[in-house]
Amino acid sequence: MTIDTIEHVSDLTWDRLHAGGLAPALADRARQHAAGCPGCAERGAALAAEHRRFVAAPPPLRATPRPRRAGRAIVSAVAVAVAVVAIAIVRIRADAPGEAIRSKGGFGVTAFAGRDHDAVPLGTGDPIFPGDRLQLSYSADRAGHLAVLAIDGAGQVEVYFPAGATTWAAAAGRRIALPASTELDDVLGEERLWIVLCERPQPLAPLVAALRERGIAAGPPPDCEVQRLRFDKRARRSGGAR
């Protein structure tokens, strides 16, 4: 996706820029376009104010968190299915961390983490801590089917969301909180998230297999788009301060 190929900067592009999830080159192009387009400049300023209000009152951490230990159990179950299920995964170049690969439409993700009611917004590379609950919100201009996978600091691939064997039916809209958070375990190091939105339901097993084979740079299936987020999971300092 390039800003050059569209007439104006989309709301989702502004959302991703304000959340720190847009590649620097694309962010520069959006700002350059807005500098010569009063309509885009006005819309960008309005969405920046909306984003500030959004992060000041983040979505609640869902009452039914999914521990990552449970996620590992799901991966073990779908690993058996990999032997009999195959899917052609498109090879697409690895974009900058946090930048979405887009096939059509628009898709963005915002992450929050914390405990109880102290959730804070996250940008790429920000620290997270064992015992935190990770809550994601997404924006999409069309309904689709969503899943959140991750590669932890030990290189293990896990399914964060949803439970079960297929992607979750996601409604169109902006800043919709997923119905479950994920409790982070004690594996430290780089935590890389791979969030996919597809036009049709997808089995999770081939997605897990693709990440195991190609890592976080794995491309999505046809008619899907993916966003990647990266965080630094650290041991919490004494006193529990972030």
Going by CATH, does the domain composed of 66-233 fall within 2.60.40.2550?
Answer: yes
Beta-strand ranges (E) seen in 86-167 are: 107-114, 120-122, 127-128, 133-140, 144-151, 157-161
74 three-state secondary structure: helix
Structure confidence at residue 17 as a pLDDT band (50, 70, 90): confident
Question: Can you name the residues that pair with 150 across neighbouring β-strands?
Answer: 158, 193
Global pTM value: 0.66
- pLDDT of 39 > 60? The answer is yes
Token output for 190: 């780089």
- Please state, as a whole number, how many other Cβ atoms lie within 10 Å of the Cβ of residue 154: 8
Structure confidence at residue 233 as a pLDDT band (50, 70, 90): very high
Torsion, Cα 207 194 102 104, to 10 degrees, reads 60
Give residue-wise pLDDT tens across range 155-177: 999 999 999 999 999 999 988 99
Work out the average pLDDT over 107-117.
Answer: 84
pLDDT at site 101: 30
pLDDT at site 10: 76
The rounded percent of the chain whose pLDDT value lies above 90 is: 41
Give residue-wise pLDDT tens across range 41-82: 888 888 777 767 666 555 666 645 444 443 333 333 333 233
